[in-house]
């Protein structure tokens, strides 16, 4: 019995590894991307379905790839906004008993069995998160990213909560209960969050972060070039000496 379990666990490791490899291979060339999360239960007449489409479409028109969980509802709206505006529309689908039916607006699709492998792809290839109203899955993705940023495990990215009427009670809980009353978080931890109802503000935040990141990259490349020149001069100065 124990040997059988060992064998199953070994094969499970190979399945996990294959999901990481496929994800890295498929997503390495998608360019600057924004991960958008939201409820799978919203239909096309829902206010936030329309809002999600607007946000994704605006980001797509300005050169951003859109990544979603690939399912129906607000994920479908985000994929539709990207695909309808000529941008890459990525769906990171997960195998679930209910609610996960891949939407037709993905033009690059991956399938995951393990949530943790899928989460890595959401974070690794996104320069920002937009969280629309959603359920436990949306909250899970949001708090996962917030924890990684807070603990400096990933480069800080914008964490945008779209929909004041939905998110304001949660933000109030974090401020009044977690921060002020129980002191389980610090005031600066909430600086990572932005609450908005404006698609244009979402674009401004993402653009500002993208420009800042590009400046960091250029600065790092310049420092690297200077270091290489200094090293080369040092090596040349040593030539001919005995």
Residue 151 has a pLDDT of 97
**Residue 154 φ then ψ, to 5°:** -135, 160
Q: Domain residues for 32?
A: 2-236
Q: Where are the alpha helices (DSSP H) in 125-181?
A: 136-150, 164-173
Residue 11 within any structural domain of the chain: yes
Residue 35 has a pLDDT of 98
Residue 207 within any structural domain of the chain: yes
Residue 229 has a pLDDT of 59
Residue 97 has a pLDDT of 79
Residue 155 within any structural domain of the chain: yes
Residue 231 has a pLDDT of 44
Assign residue 124 the CATH number of its domain: 3.40.50.450
Mean pLDDT by 10 residues, the chain (242 residues): 63 94 98 97 97 98 98 97 98 84 95 96 98 97 97 96 98 98 98 98 98 91 69 52 44
State pTM to two decimals: 0.89
Residue 241 within any structural domain of the chain: no
Residue 201 within any structural domain of the chain: yes
Residue 242 within any structural domain of the chain: no
Residue 242 has a pLDDT of 41
The count of domains in the chain is 1
Question: 232 in the Ramachandran plot: left (φ > 0), alpha (ψ -120 to 50) or beta?
Answer: alpha
């Amino acid at each position: 019995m124990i040997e059988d379990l060992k064998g199953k666990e070994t094969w499970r490791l190979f399945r996990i590894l294959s999901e990481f490899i496929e994800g890295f291979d498929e997503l390495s060339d998608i360019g600057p991307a924004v991960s958008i999360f939201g409820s799978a239960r919203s239909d096309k007449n829902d206010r936030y379905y329309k809002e999600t489409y607007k946000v994704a479409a605006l980001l797509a028109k300005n050169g951003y790839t859109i990544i979603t969980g690939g399912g129906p509802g607000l994920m479908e709206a985000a994929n539709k906004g990207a695909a309808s505006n000529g941008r890459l529309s990525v769906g990171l689908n997960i195998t679930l008993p209910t609610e996960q039916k891949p939407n037709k607006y993905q033009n690059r699709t991956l399938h995951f069995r393990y949530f943790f492998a899928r989460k890595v792809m959401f974070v690794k290839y996104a320069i920002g998160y937009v969280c629309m109203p959603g359920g436990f899955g949306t909250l899970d993705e949001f708090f996962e990213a917030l924890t990684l940023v807070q603990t400096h495990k990933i480069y800080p990215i914008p964490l945008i909560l779209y929909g004041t009427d939905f998110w304001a009670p949660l933000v109030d809980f974090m401020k009044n209960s977690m921060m002020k009353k129980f002191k389980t978080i610090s005031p600066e931890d909430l600086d990572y969050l932005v609450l908005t109802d404006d698609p244009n503000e979402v674009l401004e935040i993402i653009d500002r972060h993208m420009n800042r990141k590009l400046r960091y990259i250029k600065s790092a490349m310049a420092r690297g070039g200077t270091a290489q020149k200094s090293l080369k001069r040092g090596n040349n100065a040593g030539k001919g000496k005995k």
